[in-house]
Amino acid sequence: MIVMQAGVTKSDEAYDGTVWSILGQTYTLKQQSDASMAWHAILPPGTFVPPHTHPTQDEFVSVFEGRLDLWLDGKEVNATAGDLIRMPMGEPHGIFNKSSGTVRCLFWVSPTRVLRGLFDRIHNVGDPAEVVRIAAEHEVNFLPPQS
CATH code, 75: 2.60.120.10
Which of 43, 137, 139 minimizes the C-alpha distance to 89? 139
3-state SS, residue 129 = helix
Q: With bands split at pLDDT 50, 70 and 90, how would you rate the model's confidence at 73? A: confident
Query: Is the pLDDT assigned to residue 4 strictly greater than 90?
Result: yes
Query: Is the pLDDT assigned to residue 52 strictly greater than 90?
Result: yes
5 lies in some domain: no
Provide the residue range defining the domain that includes 124: 19-140
**Rounded to 5°, angle at Cα 143 from 142 and 146:** 140
Query: Is the pLDDT assigned to residue 128 strictly greater than 80?
Result: yes
130 lies in some domain: yes
Query: Is the pLDDT assigned to residue 103 strictly greater than 90?
Result: yes
1 lies in some domain: no
- pLDDT reported for residue 145: 73
**What percent of the chain lies above the pLDDT cut of 70?**
99
Segment 97-109 shows an average pLDDT of 98
54 lies in some domain: yes
- pLDDT reported for residue 144: 83
User: Edge-to-edge strand order for the sheet containing 103-110?
Assistant: 19-22, 25-32, 37-43, 103-110, 58-65, 84-87
Handedness of CA 56, 58, 63, 69 (dihedral sign): positive
Q: Is-contact 21 28, C-beta < 8 A?
A: no
Which of 48, 55, 54, 61 minimizes the C-alpha distance to 108? 61
DSSP 17: G
Count up the domains in the chain and report the number: 1
6 lies in some domain: no
- pLDDT reported for residue 147: 54
Segment 91-97 shows an average pLDDT of 97
11 lies in some domain: no
4 lies in some domain: no
77 lies in some domain: yes
